[in-house]
Structure 1
């Protein structure tokens, strides 16, 4: 571990390989005991909902263009986050997990997916309902199933991640902001390369999303820059929400630490 300051900052803090308390990844913020079951049940429900939405989307619209859309990237991310979180909870139930210098690989995988997915899912929801949603198209004859699928893929996805944020003790580090940013910029680069290679959407238009039409490079670049700034703000808000969750949980539920050593009796006050 390479120390970079007197306060103990290390390069490992930039990655998801180390954390002081392993229990933060499988215990709920709203429990007193050490059982992984409460959060396991929550994650089981979240994984079932996320997997159901993913399957619904695939059945309703799977095709050669399915993977080009950011919405569907988000569905995959949410599903992987919930399943990896469920794996962490199951592993903690099957065998005791002890604190170590390095986190187990499946905990690191979950933490990485969590860092990326929460902000990306919220960003997808905001982009869709603010910039892409057209109520006139809904009134022009979209089936009821299509409307509810839109709600599920652009609304419930964010709700799933927010439940995970509020229910779990998963930590958030400002240093990890580059992780969702990397995925967001990766998608922007993909859309540009896809356009340059002559790719089209399902209707034959030379763009994936009209607001990201690279024929108008200045506008597309502005959208990418604004989305990047918004993603940073979202991540900071998630980080702040995590801090508030921890303070409230410690003040109201987890009032006694299970990690502190027992205090030996005072020989001057001990009754013989």
Structure 2
């Protein structure tokens, strides 16, 4: 069963942004009916509001001393804030898509049209959501393990919000959504992280400084020490791939539990995780 699982996951079309069931992107994994649930509808808008409001608070350094001045103008140079922006975008886009489907559902009843190709809005949401989950978890681990220091960072609400709650929010969201998480989509967070490293290097070359006027944004990416920075970049990109693999395993567990709990969707479901997971993935196969 494991070999069959790997063969299915590495199908060429799984590399692309394609899925034959667009409605899965506006449904909760744990609902039985194939229509937008009102509770999930309000949840999506609640998360969009939480991310948007907290992002604005982060940009403006709400609750901190008034001496930041130029500091919030450098908000966009940090990977944490790149990741939080993606979290916010996916939350807003997810709320917009579910609203569109909810209104269509009100007009047409339970009928959900079948599309041969995934609409562009759904494609963007899938990409943003995948990047957001992986980056949120990765940023949280790296920040608290290598970046945070009591001497230079405040342990306040805003810091915890963008460096800890980001992962909590995205992990909860990941466990609720119904759409699949592809192992072959690892190149999305990989490229996103690579783009940030490139920006970080160019920013340094043009004399950019961090909030404290230091010539580096992160100590591990201090380009005055190129060997260490390159090594940190390589390990960072490998870490992103590792986090993506961990999230993929969580996806398999999520689908297995969902199949086991919903006998109607898979009457043959058993206690064998490989069999149940294989069945759930087979349900997602895109017919090309």
Q: 1:95 to 1:147 in 2, by over 3 A?
A: same
Where does residue 26 of structure 2 map in the other structure? 26
State whether structure 2 residue 156 is matched by structure 1 residue 155.
Answer: no
Instruction: Report how far residue 15 of structure 1 moved.
Output: 2.4
Q: Which of the numbers 52, 63, 82 marks the counterpart of 1:73?
A: 82
Structure with the greater relative contact order (CA < 8 A, sep ≥ 6): 1 or 2?
Answer: 2
Unaligned stretches of 5+ residues in structure 2: 1-6, 62-67, 106-111, 267-288
Q: Which of the numbers 246, 251, 256 marks the counterpart of 1:242?
A: 251
Where does residue 217 of structure 2 map in the other structure? 208
| Residue deviations 1:162-217 (CA, integer Å, cap 9, x gap) | 11110111211111100000000110111111111111112221111122101101
User: Contact conserved, 1:50 with 1:160, CA < 8 A, in 2?
Assistant: no
State whether structure 2 residue 181 is matched by structure 1 residue 179.
Answer: no
Where does residue 51 of structure 1 map in the other structure? 52
Instruction: Report how far residue 257 of structure 1 moved.
Output: 3.1
Separation of aligned partners in 2, 1:8 and 1:224: 28
User: Contact conserved, 2:60 with 2:72, CA < 8 A, in 1?
Assistant: no
User: Contact conserved, 2:77 with 2:217, CA < 8 A, in 1?
Assistant: yes
2:72 counterpart SS class: coil
| Residue deviations 1:233-256 (CA, integer Å, cap 9, x gap) | 11011111111111101111x321
State whether structure 2 residue 136 is matched by structure 1 residue 121.
Answer: yes
User: Contact conserved, 1:87 with 1:106, CA < 8 A, in 2?
Assistant: no
State whether structure 2 residue 179 is matched by structure 1 residue 170.
Answer: yes
Separation of aligned partners in 2, 1:233 and 1:26: 28
Q: Which of the numbers 243, 247, 257 marks the counterpart of 2:265?
A: 257
Where does residue 98 of structure 1 map in the other structure? 113
Where does residue 262 of structure 1 map in the other structure? none
Where does residue 264 of structure 1 map in the other structure? none
Separation of aligned partners in 1, 2:147 and 2:159: 11
Task: Point out the structure with max Rg over C-alpha.
Answer: 1
Q: 1:207 to 1:8 in 2, by over 3 A?
A: closer
Instruction: Report how far residue 7 of structure 1 moved.
Output: 7.4
Unaligned stretches of 5+ residues in structure 1: 1-5, 259-272
| Residue deviations 1:131-189 (CA, integer Å, cap 9, x gap) | 01113446xxx5xxx61111000011111111111011121111110000000011011
Instruction: Report how far residue 222 of structure 1 moved.
Output: 1.3
Instruction: Report how far residue 8 of structure 1 moved.
Output: 11
Where does residue 188 of structure 1 map in the other structure? 197
Where does residue 241 of structure 2 map in the other structure? 232
